[in-house]
Amino acid sequence: MSQIDREKQAHSRSYNGPNPIRMNDQDWNVMISALSNEQKEELNELRHQARCCARMAVSGAQATAVTLEVAETAMEVLLRTLTEMEISFPFDGFSFSGSYA
């Protein structure tokens, strides 16, 4: 890896947290609680779209290459928006259950 690649990687930002479409609503709301109402609405809509697209992509009757691509694109838009809004995942605010407890 070149020095330029390392610098680019070091300065690249990305969302670093759990899959937002698999988070429960309470954890999601805690994570976005500091945002403005407009930002929350935008993220909630993107999350809803990503969830719906993912459901269609994995359902046996509806799954096609197109639905998979649409689901992937919806998730990319959601993650990119989380990154642009500099959303971080507050690990201290969440309780873990199951094998993580």
Domain of residue 43 covers 36-89
Q: Is residue 68 part of a domain?
A: yes
Task: Identify which of 99, 98, 94 has the alpha carbon closest to the alpha carbon of residue 28.
Answer: 94
Residue 91: the pLDDT is 56
Query: Which pLDDT tens digit goes with each residue over 26-65?
Result: 999 999 999 999 999 999 999 999 999 998 888 866 678 8
Query: Which pLDDT tens digit goes with each residue over 65-78?
Result: 888 899 999 999 99
Q: Is residue 79 part of a domain?
A: yes
Residue 90: the pLDDT is 64
Q: Is residue 19 part of a domain?
A: no
Residue 86: the pLDDT is 87
Q: Is residue 11 part of a domain?
A: no
Percent of the chain with pLDDT over 90: 46
Number of domains in the chain: 1
Q: Which residues of 66-87 are buried (b: 16+ CB within 10 A; e: fewer)?
A: ebeebbeebbeebbebbeebeb
Residue 12: the pLDDT is 53
